[in-house]
Each structure stands twice: as C-alpha cells, then as structure tokens.
Chain A
C-alpha cells in the first residue's frame, strides 16, 4: 500500500487534543503527525515504548511497522524504505545507537533522509538501562568513520519530544541527511501534558522529487531545478534508474574509488550543504542574557535543574543567565563566540563527564572561563548543586 498522509485519520488515531503522555509516546505522535510511514524498530530500554507505540498506531494510519531482528537491520530497513518512497524513522538507546553507526554513515554518504530517536541511557556498554544520561552527544557527531555533518536536536520536555520529532523530519527531508533526536531516559519516561497542534499550525516539509527528463538527470550533484546543494530525490520505481552506493561516487552515482577530486567534491558538498545554513538552523533559547555575568549553557534534560538554579540566583540578585541549545549539531558556534565575549563565566551542566563543554571551550576562545558541571550515575543535577557552581569559586 502506498502511503498518503491523511491529517484527519492521524488525528482521529491520536485522540484528544490535550493529553498526558510519556516522552517516548510524544516521539510517536510527532512521527505520525510528520507523515512517517515506515518504522523499523527493536526493543531496548528505555526506548521500547516508542516501538510499541508505533506498532499500535502505525497500521491504523496505514503505515508499515516491522520489528526487525536487530538494530542494524532496523536502520538498514529505514534507509531502504526511504529510497522506496516512505518517510521513515527508528528509535533506540545507547547500545543500539552504537550498533547503527555503520549504516548511519551510509545514510549520510548516500544523502538519505531518515530520523533516529535516541533515548540516551548511562553507558558505557549496558550501563544503567532504566536511567537517563546524555552520553552520546559526541557520538552523534563523530561516531561513524569518516567526515560528515550531523544534525541533532535535544528536547527538554515532553512537548518538545513531539515538536522536535516533527522538526527532525522536516530537517531530514530538507537537507537529505539523517537527523537524530537526542532525548534521554529521564524525559523519555516522564509524563507531561502535550498539546497536539492543529494542521494549520504545522509545517511539513517533503523531499523534492526528481521531475526532469530522465536522460538529463544527474543524481548526486547540486540540484538542477533550484539553487541548492541538495539534489532532487529520485525515488526507486519512478524510472530514473539511479545507482546508489556507499562507495565514493561521481556525480552519476558510479564508484570512483581511485579518484581524489571526486571524493573531495562529494564530501565537501555533503558537509557544506548543512554548514552553509548554520544561521538558519541555529535554534537556541535565551534566558536573562542581557545583563548576565555568568551563564549556563545547557541542552536536553539538564536544562531543567539549570533553570531552577537560575531562578534561585536571580531571586538573590545574582546576574545569571541561560542559553539552551535546542539544536546541538551543527554546533551553534557563533552564539557561543558572541556569548563568551559578553560574560565572565560559562557553566556547562551535563549528564556525562563533559562532552559538549569541549566545543563550548573551543569556541569561547579563552574570552571567558568555561567550567564543566558533570553528573553521572543516572540522576539529574539538583538545583542547589548547580547553584553551588555560582557561589564564589
């Protein structure tokens, strides 16, 4: 069955406009609203609820759900389904994300849009399956071999789990790149109120299909119909006879494994197509930055206690602000450079031993002090712990 996105059917399956649901389920709702028509999943704590939710709801909106035999099969089927014409997603956690790395790179190299939801948990290895962490933030950018650009979003509450999943689909289709939604076990297993947006308030972006003459179409070069480094998408079965390979390929898609210029041209195009748009992509939330002297730079779950610590500090008259990164990769370095020139100290609370803090330090360029506030073991920071970073030291 060829999928057609039916907004009324989707909303009738999702139910009431205002609901009290798990973060994992919000990702399901976001996917369905965006028009996801294929989900290939595998159970893993704490992301099993995403795959279960999809198993229940996707057939009812006439999509296809397959529980694959492992995470590698899941991401492979997701990429295959995209080339077959579907919008596809998968959900996993740390160990599964590590398994998916090879095919994640394949999706980037072949410019295949897909969405991976990573409900992070403590690692390394099996770690603490039921407790959240933010330990994969560098892996999403550097985990696969070779050079590519990652796009990663970090939701801080359940409503954002839904909204960012819809955004992830839009970004994936626009840039033809895999996009990751880096939630974590805390938000994933949290129940909060969500409001399902009306159709008129939603923006859904679809990939641009190839429409020009089959003899003139060149699959892996700048778009021939618009001014963009992202080529039009020749879905399988539409008669374009495209050859898609993970090997370094020339513009027509055929292997060019012994040619340096071809490789450089290809990899530079697939990276700059995203980094050129850094200003458009940057998505941050700014709190009390106008007169701040000390700033928390946060993302995801650790933004919640940071905001509480901020309020405690402001109540005592301290000049504290917060910059919350909603889009973590490509890294919004211009915001950090600007911020570092205006403040004395940046504190980066993370549920890991310090990952994004390295990027912050790099772009702060020594203009201010950058302090890491790590906490591992599956517990979120407590506001008074973060407040302690503000006192004296």
Chain B
C-alpha cells in the first residue's frame, strides 16, 4: 500500500508554484485535469527530466506553463506535429500533449488524423468544453446540435464531431473519454495511456461556465457540473441497457454521451518500426559493402 501522498507535497514536486493561481475561470475543469495528470505521473513515478509537455493555443494549452518540466507552447492546432518532431529526435522522451477540442479537431484535425494513423508514441489529453473558450465562446466542432455560441447566436445547425470514434477508426492504440467530475477512472486511464506504446488519446469532458454554460442555460457552476452527472453514461451500462433493457430505459439513455475506454489494442509504434528499419539497413550495408 503506497504511502498517502498529499496534494501539498504533489504541488511542491510538480507545480510551478509562482505561476499559480491560474488564469482559469471559476468552476473551470482544466485545473482538475492537471490535478489528475499529476496524480497519474506520481503513481507511475515518471522522470520529470525526461517528460515533455506540448500544447497548442487555448485555455487547455496554458497547462504546460504550470508544470515544472520541459514545455513547448506552439501555434494553434499544430501541437501534435511538433510532438512528432521531438519524439523523432529523442524517442526516449515521454511526450504528453494538452490540447482543446477546437485546437485538436478544428485547425489541428489533419495532424491528429495522421499521428493516430502512424501510431506515434505520444499521449494526447484533449479537454473538450464544446467551445473556443479563450477567445470568448465561438462555435467549436464538438458543440452539440442546437447549442448557442457567439458565432452561432441562433443555435448550432452543424452536427458535432465524435473524436473518439475517429481515433478508433484510425487504429489508435488507446482511446478513452472521461468526465472531469469523477476522479478515479480518469487517473487510472491517464496512467494506462502514458504507459501504452503507440498513440493514446484521452478526451476529457470539462465544463466551461463562462463561455459555454452561461449562453446555454446551464445556470451556475453547480448546475453545470450536475449536467455532466445526468447526461453521461458508462459504455458498459449503455451496451447493457441497449441489449437487454426495456424500451423506456433505452429512450432515456439514447442521447447520453458515452464514457469509458473505447479501444485498447497493441500495435507497434512508428518510431519502433523506424528503428528496426535503420537496423536492417545497417546490416545490409555491412554485409553488402556497397550502396
């Protein structure tokens, strides 16, 4: 049984305390994701000298500034491409990417698709608050149908993006989605994602009371957090009810957002394969002696 580690000791080890308190609003879920990441890193005992945090632009992307480790705060949507380069130069580094829903699936969609397809060994923690929070609440690709944003003042007529389904289809090694409101499963999931070789993506549904909640009648912070309790369901429960449940139950849960681990497979990562290719070439060169 590991010794109890208090938050105070955790902060001293991993947080840049002079940057705190954060720029995040009252009731924002980003600080909670940081907290879960710290606990996961602590339980895995990762070497902070060999861990790099990369992020794009947005509220979620401010997180590496608070972590006492190497951090790269890049341009909007390109965090995953930068991370591919860092991993290529030094495959021994652990790379964790903090990105948001607009950053990752909007402008950064192409990079997400190809990194997942190539199975680059990185862990993407995508914090989904259904909006572009930092710039004031514009419409995001993941916003639910009918929601209100500053650039969709009469209601959203686009269908939302299910990023976990996309990553599953691309064959990413680990795909999961969790809600910020319940701590234990996310911490375990982040641990699994970091340990997994190959592309891991963990989506976090996080409240944004200031930019999203206010405009969509989710009331104050407490009501907004309660909304997640009522509208989220575990995959296992969803499948059980859909297979065996009565029709009224099915109606009730039909539109709820599913949470859990969607995919957990083992496929070799891109740089592992590349290292094998280089070895093969070296042998051929030594044997053949010619170009």
Contact = CB atoms under 8 A, between A and B. Distances in A.
Interface stretch (A78-86, A132-140, A180-188, A351-359): A78-86
B214 interface: no
A177 interface: no
Contacts of B254: none
Interface stretch (B67-75, B178-186, B202-210): B67-75
Nearest to B76: A102
Nearest to B54: A80
Interface string B250-285: 000000000000000000000100110110011001
Contact of B71 (A66, A72, A80, A242): A242
Interface stretch (A56-64, A297-305, A308-316): A56-64
A228 interface: no
Contacts of A72: 78, 81
Contact of A76 (B19, B50, B85): B85
A254 interface: yes
Contact of B85 (A2, A12, A59, A78): A78
Interface string A21-62: 000000000000000011010000000000000000001101
B282 A37 contact: no
B85 A84 contact: yes
B152 interface: no
A77 B75 contact: no
A73 B78 contact: yes
Contacts of B74: 76, 79, 106, 246
A247 interface: yes
B41 to A, nearest CB: 14
Contacts of B28: none
Interface stretch (A233-241, A271-279, A320-328, A383-391): A233-241
Contacts of B93: 84, 236-237
B245 interface: no
Interface string B81-93: 1111111111111
Interface string A1-34: 1110000000011010000000000000000000
A393 to B, nearest CB: 49
A221 interface: no
User: B interface, how many residues as a size bin?
Assistant: 35 or more
Nearest to A37: B89
Contact of B87 (A68, A84, A106, A243): A84
Contacts of A3: 89
Given A13-B291, A59-B278, A243-B64, A88 B85 contact: yes
A38 B91 CA distance: 12
A88 B89 contact: yes
Nearest to A106: B75
Given A66-B88, A241-B48, A246 B291 contact: no
A83 B84 CA distance: 11
A244 interface: yes
Interface in A337-393: none
Contact of A79 (B49, B82, B278, B291): B82
B52 interface: yes
A149 B88 CA distance: 28
B275 A237 contact: no
A260 to B, nearest CB: 20
Contacts of A335: none
User: A interface, how many residues as a size bin?
Assistant: 35 or more
B117 to A, nearest CB: 9
B159 interface: no
Contacts of A254: 19, 65
Contacts of B90: 2, 84-86, 236-237
Interface string B209-236: 0000000000000000000000000000
Contacts of B86: 80-81, 83-84, 236
A223 interface: no
Contacts of A81: 85-86, 88-89
B151 interface: no
A130 interface: no
B53 to A, nearest CB: 9
Nearest to A56: B291
B110 interface: yes
B232 to A, nearest CB: 33
Contacts of B72: 80, 83, 236, 244-245
A237 B65 contact: no
Nearest to A86: B89
A241 B73 CA distance: 13
Contacts of B113: 69
B82 A77 contact: yes
Contact of B277 (A59, A78, A84): A59
Given A238-B49, A244-B71, A254-B65, A40 B114 contact: no
Nearest to A84: B89
Interface string B103-114: 000000011011
B114 A69 contact: yes
Interface in A238-271: 238-247, 254-255
Contacts of B285: 12, 60
A68 B278 contact: no
Given A86-B89, A245-B73, A255-B65, 6 more contacts: A1-B91, A37-B89, A73-B84, A80-B83, A240-B70, A241-B49
Interface of A: 1-3, 12-13, 15, 37-38, 40, 59-60, 62, 64, 66, 68-70, 72-73, 76-86, 88, 102-103, 106, 236-247, 254-255
17 contacts: A1-B275, A37-B89, A64-B271, A68-B84, A76-B81, A80-B83, A81-B85, A81-B89, A83-B72, A84-B89, A85-B89, A85-B90, A241-B68, A242-B70, A242-B71, A245-B71, A245-B73
Question: Which 9 pairs of residues, A with B, have the shortest CB-CB distance?
Answer: A80-B85, A84-B89, A77-B85, A76-B81, A245-B73, A86-B89, A81-B85, A80-B82, A73-B81
Interface of B: 19, 48-50, 52, 54, 64-65, 68-75, 78, 81-93, 110-111, 113-114, 271, 274-275, 277-278, 281-282, 285, 291
